[in-house]
Amino acid sequence: MYPEINLGPLTLQTFGLMFALAFIVGGVIAYKRFEELGKPADWAYEAVFAALIGGLLGARLYFVIDNSAEIDGLADLVSGSGLTWYGGAAGGAIGVLLWAWWRKTLNLQLTDVTAPALAAGYAVGRIGCQLSGDGDYGKPWDGPWAMNYEDGVVPTPPGVEVHPTPIYETLVMGLAAVVLWRLRDRFRVGILFAIYLVIAGTERFLVEFVRTNDEVFLSLTVAQLSSVVVVLAGIIWIAVVRNRYGSLAPAPADGTAASVR
């Protein structure tokens, strides 16, 4: 594990570096797509900034609410030591929605732009979890690629090896980003994002079976219950569009790029 990188007097947190890189990667993908669609490519920078601010605020707010009994005074309240993925995702989404409303570009095409960017950003972010050993690893396991996180921020017990779930998620969502990018012109607007919801929700639902989160209902974790909602939303979205138009193929009015890749 490499929770920190020391460069002389400067100490860098690997999780923070990958967190920042995730936004950069997502921004580059969005920039390229905006260019293809004939939109101002600089919108990508604005959207990423909105997602970053909203994500940080949402992640911290969710943590404070979820751990209110442990918050003691203003110093704990404004500390950056507690962030949660759920709050970050919601806050980032709200940030982008507000930006899109301000730019008068709040439409389904924007959701499709975000689909491969979100998948790629998530994949990069999980590299940070792996490098820092922040507790997102899985259950004890003695398989061929089991790992220990004894030097992580949240260390495993000495000699205990576990599922390296951050690696699983990076591989799956990295592949998902590639697939979504290659499919970006093949569907009616909005469908690419619906496909992203199905992929992302399914991935998180399955990986939870080898992670250590607490079960809360029907032997499922909070993340799994949330994932079920996400997957169902994606499936219903696709079904409604297919039922309404008889096809998922792009319509001329979609504004998608002319070529199919």
- The whole-number average pLDDT for the span 173-189 is 95
- The whole-number average pLDDT for the span 101-117 is 90
Give the gyration radius of the chain's Cα atoms.
Answer: 20
pLDDT at residue 113 greater than cutoff 70: yes
Contact status, residue 231 vs residue 198, Cβ threshold 8 Å: yes
DSSP H/E element including 37: none
Structural domain boundaries in the chain: 10-185
Structure tokens given for 208: 């939870």
pLDDT confidence tier of residue 215, bands split at 50, 70 and 90: confident
pTM for the whole structure: 0.84
Residue 93 confidence (pLDDT) = 81
The residue among 12 and 156 whose pLDDT is bigger is 156
pLDDT confidence tier of residue 79, bands split at 50, 70 and 90: very low
- The whole-number average pLDDT for the span 153-178 is 93
Phi, psi dihedrals of residue 106, rounded to the nearest 5°: -80, 90
Calculate the CA dihedral of residues 232, 237, 241, 244 and round it to 10 degrees: 80
Query: What is the rounded distance in angstroms from the CA atom of residue 165 to the CA atom of residue 40?
Result: 38
The residue among 204 and 92 whose pLDDT is bigger is 204
- The whole-number average pLDDT for the span 159-185 is 95
DSSP H/E element including 57: helix 43-66
Q: Which of 8-17, 83-92, 203-212 has the highest mean pLDDT?
A: 203-212
- The whole-number average pLDDT for the span 230-256 is 86
10 Å CB burial of residue 178 (0-12, 13-18, 19+) is middle
Question: 220 forms bridges with which residues in the sheet?
Answer: 217
Residue 222 confidence (pLDDT) = 82
